[in-house]
Amino acid sequence: MAATKRHSKSDGTVVRASVKVAVAVVGDTGVGKTCMLLAYLTGRFPSNCPEGSVDWHSEFDHLTRHPVQVVIGDVEVNITLVDTVGLDEYQKLRAVVCASADVYLVCFDVTKPATLERVRHHWIPEIREYNSVAPFVLVATKCDERIAAQIEGRSSRDTVSFSQARSAGQELGAITYCECSARNLTGLKKIFEEAAAAGLKKAYPDGMDKKNGCVLA
């Protein structure tokens, strides 16, 4: 995570520092982690979302080969996205790919309250085995389906409400709580902006020298 010299991007944005941040996405299988990533990377909902990690599918190499760039102020944050498989039998593999992550996105499905309980009892303890202090964002997926459930008059017990999830995030120590719908392309940008900001803060906890982009001692 090193600062670079001041330079200008093609759109005229002046960048005086560049930071590399690894963001690992975890959560139960089926909550929509890969769909969320593909929707964010392509700007459209994948019509045929593949099972397993996005890295397993060669047709997505052009999306995952290079880091995603998020500019915060005059700092360019280059995010390497690490998708994971949520099945318990893949925990040893996750330990390999997630141990060096700077930030975690811990996901659950708002239409399956049990997946939020799994965040509490499985996913937070697991990421804390990798890194006891790394920041994480609590992410709710499929929020469009919660709205549909409300319209259809289904029991509130069938979904996780915004207030319930936000309270859970505060209790669990998330840096923030975000909701998204990969199908409707809503909330996606904010999730990765929050991850980038968390990675930047981790890289420069004491701020940056405004003159030359160096870390303040």
Boundaries of domain holding 146: 18-47+59-199
- Asked, for residue 133, whether it belongs to a domain, the answer is yes
Strand spans (E) along 57-122: 68-72, 75-82, 103-109
For residue 208, pLDDT beyond 70: no
Indicate the number of domains in the chain. Answer: 1
Residue 54 lies in a domain: no
- Distances, alpha carbon 174 to alpha carbons 52, 119, 126, 177, 184, in Å: 25, 11, 14, 7, 25
- The stretch 180-192 carries a mean pLDDT of 96
Residue 217 lies in a domain: no
The band of 84, judged by pLDDT with boundaries at 50, 70 and 90, is: very high
Residue at 10 is within a domain? no
Rounded Cα–Cα distance for residues 100 and 80 (Å): 11
Tell me how far apart the alpha carbons of residues 160 and 182 are, in angstroms, rounded to a whole number. 17
The one-letter amino acid code at 188 reads L
Q: Is the pLDDT of residue 189 over 70?
A: yes
pLDDT at 153: 67
pLDDT-based confidence at residue 96 (cuts at 50, 70, 90): confident
Are the C-beta atoms of 26 and 94 separated by less than 8 Å? yes
User: Per-residue DSSP letters for 57-70?
Assistant: -GGGHHHHSSPEEE
**For residues 63 and 22, which has the higher predicted lDDT (pLDDT)?**
22
Q: What is the domain-level CATH number for residue 114?
A: 3.40.50.300
pLDDT in tens, 117-152: 999 999 999 999 999 999 999 999 999 998 887 777
Average pLDDT over the chain reads 85
Q: Measured between alpha carbons, how far is 106 from 36 in angstroms, rounded to an integer? A: 12
- Does 207 reside within a domain? no
What is the maximum span of the chain, computed from C-alpha positions, in angstroms?
57
Return the percentage of the chain with pLDDT > 70, whole number: 82
What is the residue whose two structure tokens read 């769909």?
Answer: 35
212 CB burial (10 A radius; 0-12, 13-18, 19+): exposed
